[in-house]
Amino acid sequence: MKGFTPLILGICATLAFSWMGLAFIPNLQIGHLDPQTDEEGKDAYPVPKSGMAERGRRIYAANGCFYCHSQQVRADYAGSDIERKWGERRSAPRDYIFERPVELGKMRMGPDLANIGHRAPAEDQNAPAQGSPAPAVAPSAANASPTPGGSAAPGAVTANQAPKPQGTPTAVPSTATASLAAAASPPASPSGKTQVAASPSPAIAAGSPANANVANAAPAGPSPPAPATPDAGTTLASLPTDSPQAYSAAWHHQHLYSPRSINVDSNMPAYKFLYVKRPVSGQVSARALKLRGEEAPREGWEIVPSYDAECLVAYLMSLDQSHPLKEVKSAAPAPTSPSPGKSAK
Amino acid sequence: MNSAASATDPTEIPLKAPSSVTDLTAGDVSQVERALIDASTRVPVLMFYTSALAWLLLGTILAGFTSFKLHSPDLFSNVAFLTWGRIRPAHVNVMLYGWASMVGIGTAIWLMARLCRTTLRHPLLLVAGGVFWNLGVLLGVGGILAGDSTGYNWLEFPLYAAITLFVAYSLIVSWAVLMFRFRRGGPIYITQWYLLAAFLWFPWIYLAAQTMLFVVPVQGVLQAAVDWWYANNLLFLWFGSLGLGTAYYMIPKVIGRPVYSYHLAAIGFWSYALFASWTGMQRLIDGPFPAWMVTASIAAMILALIPVATVGLNHHMTMRDYFPLMRYSPTLRFTVFGAMSYTVFSVLGVMISLRSFARFLQFSEVSIAYSHLGLYAFFTMIMFGAMYYIVPRLVGREWRYSSLIKLHFWSSVYGIALMTLMLLAGGLVQGLNMDNPTLAFTESTQSVLPYLRGRSLAGVLMTVAHFTFAYHFGLMLFGLGRTASVPTFLNPVNPDPEEMVAH
């Protein structure tokens, strides 16, 4: 090397070149995207998340969820993400314009979460599921248990699309978030109140160290007590048969608290520190987790989500890239005939 | 922290001094000069080394938690700061900023002083830098464990820790500039290119990433692009440069033979600077990005085989006929192992960057194998080698037990080899199962668990290696090394040791 100056200049120039190419120019290209709207300027997508979901994103980042869960759906030619029902189309830069920090992820020790909120039961089905141990809409096709053997997963996708009022022009927080927030803070909205009013008796029954028949012993619920779930025979027999409807808020809470009570094969750590165990004062809280077996608290105690846990679940419920984007070719709609043995988890 | 190194007059240190200072030959003069230079670097370098080793041990313990909890998820899962998602970034960041950066800076200080042929001026500046750096890592790791992680890969340190690190770094780099100002004569040696480049590149990528993520954050997916740009450049331009620069010094030095080709080295250096810096986006294959970004990085990964080939060829030709020396010299053994791992690491990097492979491997444990090949099999092993060379020159003692060096070497080598194999095989199985939509997703995670248990076993081996080395280093630090005129060889040398190892 001849001189000092050319060395320094070369060192700086090479990195400047790289920074220009991989940071600066992409920023010109995709760094200033706007939400997409229809012709009348309505139906904006994406929209910023609610406050709770934003706080939940912090929880998600702080506890390193993104080391095991990605949030990106690859195109059908680049992987089996779409076949696994992780999304109906590939993810695009526009899906993430309000995300900070963006949690694309790098590893899949757990399934992709880009559309986990979309895979939740629709709002009207979701709310009762919070209150009663047995899903109120049990016979519907949307009853996707964690390890569905057969028709549950594709059914859930199609069933969810119809009732979901995602397109409401003024909807700033996504509907899933709104319903969850309401459920989390009972006095906040009328729907929350009705739900609380409807729920006490099954909740109390579930709070006791119950056996699997407890659902039948609580006939006062808002809906006929579906005898466990209809797919009880097809799920793992040793598991509680009345775990909440898949990907509902209640499901997430139970899954976070005790992953293997929902799926014995799960490799996820439990996040018990996000939950509070406390003595029951008066009635069992509507938010209390409905746990079975050895995870269940002693009589007179209940396990409720902390505010952080509520926010984390609000965030998960807000993850939804199902809205079509003009720049992305959507894959064919979910097939009506399921392929056997497929897991949507 | 550096009690043994507390300020004595550097010139009084009993180094491998010439027999008589009054009777000077030319060789003796240069030996005295080297001894003075070594003595002047003693306090800061030992301080960086001691801190680095402390972080290495902490990082190893955290790694154990990370590894075991992955196949035994209920272990300590009730404690917030021990949850897997916090332990993992704590481990990674301790290793990156605590161990690897500090040992790299320590080695670079010593190499720079030697190669600039000037005594270290203002060592207190460096010591202050080291204190701040330790503080930054401590704050950062504490922040991560307390739930303050930023959520960006390899940049999890919260902003207060990042700022502390940057202050520390400014102190260190200002010293490097000073050093170059007092440099004496001669062309700039290859090692100095790499070290100088590393010292200039690191603050740039760190500042650029921090700015684009936290100060004026870029939109959406570009954060991930900036993050991967940073992570890959940290790996290549910071650790890679420090590692390669060190290897370019140690190999010729130990065998006492000049580098095979200067021109080859120049080609290797500039192609490295040009191509390695363009990588990063290959970790986002088929993600939500313009395809050209990913393609550019894949192309850069492939082109980065040019520097790999030239550097590898250069080292190989330098070493030719001298490979048997690896039987004796610990430094050479570690360094050559590291230099060879660099080739393996780069070839694996190209393979997992190709779209056809990435389809299966991108979200699997293979990427962990890749990171460990780069940071451990390549970088860390070279740094171990450098420490085996440098520390005796700083404390004036030789390594006490050749058996401990051997134990360190073999448990490291078997550990990293087993770990790489387990993660590669496990990642492949995991990726193939994941890509097969007729299998439940949990099949893919279940199928990798046996390999993860094997990886934990590898981790135990590496833990043995690290604690052995730390113990041996501690003996040196407290003056319990051997007093001898010849270095500690791994195996007895019959004919003439002086010929084997040049000083």
Q: Which of B44, B58, B212 is nearest to B142 (CA)?
A: B58
CB B458 within 8 A of CB B383: no
Q: What is the pLDDT of residue B491?
A: 87
Of residues A19, A80, A102, nearest to B437 (C-beta): A80
Cβ–Cβ under 8 Å, residues B200 and A16: no
| pLDDT at A132 > cutoff 80 | no
A122, A178 in Cβ contact below 8 A?
no
Which range is least confidently modeled, A121-135, A317-331, B135-149, B215-229? A121-135
pLDDT at res. A198? 38
% of chain A exceeding 90 in pLDDT = 46
The mean pLDDT value for B452-466 works out to: 97
Nearest to A62 among B147, B436, B444 (CB): B147
Alpha helices in B94-220 (DSSP H): 101-116, 123-145, 159-181, 190-210
Cβ-based contacts of B82 with chain A (< 8 Å): none
Under 8 Å CB-to-CB from A326, ≥6 apart: which residues? A36
B153 touches chain A (CB under 8 A): yes
Contacts of A12 in chain B (CB under 8 A): 200, 204
Query: What's residue A242's pLDDT?
Result: 65
Angle ∠(B202,B207,B208) on CA atoms, nearest 5: 100
**From A33, A75, A268, residue closest to B220, measured CB to CB:** A33
Q: What is the pTM of this model?
A: 0.83
Per-residue confidence band for B332, with pLDDT thresholds at 50, 70 and 90: very high
Which residues, at least 6 apart from A263, have a Cβ–Cβ distance to it below 8 Å? A146, A147, A255, A345, B442
Contacts B220 to A, Cβ<8 Å:
30, 33, 93-99, 102
B168: closest CA of chain A, how far (Å): 21
Whether the CB-CB separation of A153 and A338 falls below 8 Å is answered with yes
Using the CB atoms, write b or e for B360-389: b if 16+ within 10 Å. Answer: bbbbbbbbbbbbbbbbbbbbbbbbbbbbbb
Do residues B231 and B154 touch, judged by C-beta distance below 8 A?
Answer: yes
Q: Which amino acid is at A136?
A: A
Q: Are B33 and B17 in contact (CB under 8 A)?
A: no
CA end-to-end distance (rounded Å), chain B: 28
**pLDDT at position B23:** 53
- pLDDT band with cut points at 50, 70 and 90 for residue A299: confident
Percent of chain B with pLDDT over 90: 82
Choose among A23, A75, A259: nearest Cβ to B225.
Answer: A23
Closest CA to A111 of A146, A161, A78: A146
Contact between B294 and B302 (Cβ < 8 Å): no
Distance between CA B430 and CA B437 in Å, rounded?
Answer: 12
Query: Cβ contacts (< 8 Å) between A30 and chain B: which residues?
Result: 219-222, 289-290
- The C-alpha atoms of residue B97 and residue B215 are separated, in whole angstroms, by 21
- Distance from the Cα of B225 to chain A's closest Cα (Å) equals 7
- For residue range B156-214, list pLDDT tens digits in order: 999 999 999 999 999 998 888 788 878 886 788 999 999 999 999 999 999 999 999 99
B475 pLDDT exceeds 80? Answer: yes
Residues of A whose CB is below 8 A from B286: 74-75, 78-79, 90
Quick: pLDDT tens for A194-239: 333 333 334 333 333 333 333 343 334 344 444 444 343 333 444 4
Q: What is the pLDDT of residue A53?
A: 96
Q: What is the CA radius of gyration of chain A?
A: 22
| Structure confidence at residue A18 (pLDDT) | 96
**Greater model confidence, A157 or B134:** B134
List the single range of A11-20, A195-204, A282-291 with lowest mean pLDDT: A195-204
Q: CA B35 → CA B10, B198, B460, distances in Å?
A: 10, 26, 39
Q: Which residue of A has its CA nearest to B157?
A: A62
Chain B residues in contact with A270 (beta carbon < 8 A): 73-74, 77-78
Give dist(CA A205, CA A216) in Å, integer. 10
Q: Given CB atoms, is B158 within the 8 Å cutoff of chain A?
A: no
Q: What does the alpha-carbon distance between residue B237 and residue B200 come to, in Å, rounded to a whole number?
A: 10
Q: Are B419 and B462 in contact (CB under 8 A)?
A: yes
Cβ-Cβ contacts under 8 Å for B168 (sequence gap 6 or more):
B129, B130, B131, B132, B133, B135, B136
Q: Tell me how long chain B is.
A: 503
Nearest CB to A343; choose among B213, B219, B441: B441
> Taking CB atoms and an 8 Å limit, are B219 and A61 in contact across chains?
no
CB of B361 less than 8 A from some CB of A? no
What's the gap in Å between the CA of B74 and the closest CA on chain A? Answer: 6
Q: What is the pLDDT of residue A42?
A: 84
Q: How far apart are the C-alpha atoms of A52 and A58, rounded to whole Å?
A: 10
Residue A275 backbone phi and psi in degrees, to 5: -125, 155
The length of chain A in residues reads 345
Residue B423 CB partners (closer than 8 Å, separation 6+): B365, B366, B368, B369, B372, B451, B455
A262 contacts in chain B (CB < 8 Å): none
**Chain A CB contacts of B182 below 8 Å:** none
Q: What is the pLDDT of residue A167?
A: 39
User: Which residues 445-464 of chain B have a CB within 8 Å of chain A?
Assistant: 445-446, 448-449
Q: Considering only CB atoms, which chain A residues are within 8 Å of B180?
A: 4
Nearest-by-Cβ selection for A22 from B78, B150, B225:
B225
| Region A2-15 average pLDDT | 89
Interface contact B277-A17, CB threshold 8 A: yes
Whether residue A1 and residue B266 make contact (CB cut-off 8 A), yes or no, is yes
Across the interface, of A79, A84, A106, the residue whose CB is closest to B283 is A106
CA angle A272, A278, A279 (to 5 degrees): 150
Per DSSP, the three-state class of B91 is helix
Integer Cα distance of A198 and A185 in angstroms:
15
Instruction: Considering only CA atoms, give the Rg of chain B.
Output: 22
In this complex, which of A8, A100, A273 lies closest to B80 when CB atoms are compared?
A: A273
Helix, strand or coil for residue B51? Answer: helix
pLDDT tens string B177-192: 788 878 886 788 999 9
How many Å apart are CA A3 and CA A22, to the nearest integer? 29
Assigned token pair, B165 = 């690190």
Provide the sign of the torsion angle of the four alpha carbons A33, A35, A36, A37, taken in this order. negative
By the CB < 8 Å criterion, does B170 face chain A? Answer: no
Inter-chain CB proximity A265 and B444 less than 8 Å: no
> Residue type for A34, please?
D
Q: Output the six-digit token pair for A46.
A: 């994406």
Distance between CA atoms of B144 and A64, rounded to whole angstroms? 10
Place of tokens 């922040």: B143
Determine, for residues A101 and B150 on separate chains, whether the beta-carbon distance falls below 8 Å.
Answer: yes
Cβ pair B435:A21 closer than 8 A: no
Q: B232: which chain A residues are within 8 Å (Cβ-Cβ)?
A: none
The shortest CB-CB distance from A65 to any of B69, B85, B438 is to B85
- pLDDT tops 60 at residue A176: no
Q: In the 8-state DSSP scheme, what is residue B395?
A: H
One-letter-per-residue 3-state SS of chain A: CCCHHHHHHHHHHHHHHHHHHHHHHHHHHHCCCCCECCCCCCCCECCCCCHHHHHHHHHHHHCCHHHCCCCCCCCCCCCCCCCCCCCCCCCCHHHHCCCCCCCCCCCCCCCCCCCCCCCCCCHHHHHHHHHCCCCCCCCCCCCCCCCCCCCHHHHHHHHHHCCCCCCCCCCCCCHHHHHHHHHHCHHHCHHHHHHHHHCHHHHHHHHCCCCHHHHCCCCCCCCCCCCCCHHHHCCCCCCCCCCCCCCCHHHHHHHHHCHHHCCCCCCCCCCHHHEEEEECCCCCCCCCCCCCHHHCCCCCEEEEECHHHHHHHHHHHHCCCCCCCCCCCCCCCCCCCCCCCCCCC
Report d(CA B35, CA B18) in Å as an integer: 9
Q: Are the beta carbons of A22 and B278 separated by less than 8 Å?
A: yes
Residues A314-335 have a mean pLDDT of 81
Stretch B347-351: mean pLDDT, rounded?
Answer: 95
Q: Which of B20, B216, B73 is nearest to A268 (CA)?
A: B73
In sequence order, the 6+-apart residues with CB closer than 8 A to the CB of A330 are A88, A89, A324
Lowest mean pLDDT among A199-208, B299-308, B490-499: A199-208
CB B419 within 8 A of CB B368: no
Question: Residue A120's pLDDT is what?
Answer: 85
Rounded to whole angstroms, the Cα distance separating A190 from B317 reads 79
Q: Choose among A32, A246, A43, A22: nearest CA to A153.
A: A246
| Contact residues, chain B, for A147 at CB < 8 Å | 440, 442
Average pLDDT, chain B: 91
Q: How far is B396 from chain A (nearest CA, A)?
A: 34
Q: Please name the residue of chain B whose CA is at the shortest distance from the CA of residue A91.
A: B288
The pLDDT value recorded for residue A4 is: 82
Closest CB to A1: pick one of B85, B86, B188.
B188
Q: What is the pLDDT of residue A171?
A: 38
Looking at residue B22, what is its pLDDT? 52
Contacts of A267 in chain B (CB under 8 A): 70-71, 73, 442, 445-446, 449
Place of tokens 């190669």: B115
Task: With CB atoms and an 8 Å threshold, state whether A93 touches B221.
Answer: yes
A80 vs B434: CB contact, 8 Å cut-off?
yes
pLDDT of B110 strictly over 90: yes
ipTM (interface pTM): 0.89
Distance from the A224 Cα atom to the nearest Cα atom in chain B, whole angstroms? 32
For residues B120 and B115, give the distance between their C-alpha atoms in angstroms, rounded to a whole number: 11
Residues from chain A contacting residue B446 (CB–CB below 8 Å): 265, 267
Interior angle at CA A66, CA A61 and CA A67, nearest 5: 120
For chains A and B, CB pairs below 8 A equal 241
Average pLDDT, chain A: 72
Provide the pLDDT for residue B492: 87
A78–B286 C-beta distance less than 8 A: yes
CB contact under 8 A, B208 and A84: no
For residue A146, pLDDT over 70 is answered with no
- The whole-angstrom separation of Cα A317 and Cα B445 is 24
- Per the model's pLDDT, the better-predicted residue between B485 and B228 turns out to be B228
Query: Is B93 at the interface with chain A, CB within 8 A?
Result: no
